[in-house]
Amino acid sequence: MSLLVVGSLALDSVETPTQSRDNVLGGSAVFFSYAASYFTGVRLVGVVGEDWPQEHTDLLGQRRVDTQGLQFVEGGKTFRWRGKYQPNMNDRDTLEVHLNVFADFDPSVPDGFQDSQYVFLANAAPGVQSKVLDQVKDPQLVVADTMDLWINETRDDLVSLLKRVDGLVLNDSEAKLLTGEENLIRAAEQVVSMGPKFVVVKKGEHGALLYSEDGVCVLPAFPTGDVVDPTGAGDSFAGGMMGYIAECDQADTETLRKALVYGTVVASYNVEDFSLEQMKRIEREQIDQRFSEYCDMLKI
């Protein structure tokens, strides 16, 4: 089924304790699209500048990512992010953010995308996320992501957006920041009271938690010893999750739980190299294989 995503397309610079990369392909919508494309076709809406290499668009096009919703701003620069990971490879500092063309992004959803059944509002200003929703006709499931920047700077917009979405994906520190609750279950409860039917709290190397009125499901991360660059783990997690939901064309609790496992597995591949390098090397077959290893691991 049709899956629409809006979010950032970025040129990232990443420093880890042992290696670094400059100006590599990144962005919330990019990691999401590539991850979701193992499961379904993806409709991408975003903005880039003149410095955006054509090869990045080609790479997405070679997967099942429809890039007709990409806006090119003449004379503009693409969004840039620079981050540095702590030795634990879980905590990171944002050293630089240059919103560039992303700052004035006025999303326009192409006519052919407006009937999208599944919508993911990847990391972007909540005002931008809302404008996308205004242009989608009758979606079956809308899930949003957010981050500390938007919680701190555009809280009112975010609170309005939450009333319009079915699900919210955010990490543990963001859930605490949004709700003021230190206990994650309480924080999840509060998020659900703000509008969404379910919330997925990502806990980095400690996995993820799904909370809805049907109950709580807590899943560990897939144990990989090869963590090279965690950038995009959250977005590729969301891509695997939403891609599977769109492929099944249903979002009941059982499907959501399996979707969480697929998200976990795709994210575990993503962190094994910089940018999208490891995802580029794998196919659906490897994902299904790791899915079954993960399920075996949890048999008690």
User: Where do contacts with ligand AMP occur on this chain (CB under 6 A)?
Assistant: 8, 10, 12, 26-28, 81, 97, 123-124, 147, 149, 231-235
Distance of CA 145 to the CA centre of its chain: 7
- Tell me the residue length of the chain: 300
Which residue lies nearer to ligand AMP by CB, 103 or 297? 103
Interhelix angle 253-270/284-298, rounded to 10 degrees, is 110
Taking the complex as a whole, the smallest distance from the CB of residue 8 to ligand AMP amounts, in Å, to: 3
Which residue lies nearer to ligand AMP by CB, 139 or 234? 234
Taking the complex as a whole, the smallest distance from the CB of residue 294 to ligand AMP amounts, in Å, to: 20
Taking the complex as a whole, the smallest distance from the CB of residue 2 to ligand AMP amounts, in Å, to: 23
- Among 37, 41, 36, which residue's Cα sits nearest to residue 241? 36
Which residue lies nearer to ligand AMP by CB, 96 or 140? 96
Element (H, E) at 79: strand 79-85
Taking the complex as a whole, the smallest distance from the CB of residue 135 to ligand AMP amounts, in Å, to: 19
Question: In terms of DSSP bridges, do strands 208-212 and 198-202 run parallel, antiparallel, or are they unpaired?
Answer: antiparallel
Which residue lies nearer to ligand AMP by CB, 124 or 162? 124
Which residue lies nearer to ligand AMP by CB, 4 or 124? 124
DSSP secondary structure code for residue 138 in this structure: S
Which residue lies nearer to ligand AMP by CB, 179 or 231? 231
For residue 189, give the amino acid letter: E
Taking the complex as a whole, the smallest distance from the CB of residue 199 to ligand AMP amounts, in Å, to: 17
Taking the complex as a whole, the smallest distance from the CB of residue 233 to ligand AMP amounts, in Å, to: 5
User: Would residue 274 be called left, alpha or beta, if left means φ above 0 and alpha means ψ between -120 and 50 degrees?
Assistant: beta
For residue 134, give the amino acid letter: D
Q: Which residues contact 284 (CB under 8 A, 6 or more apart)?
A: 38, 39
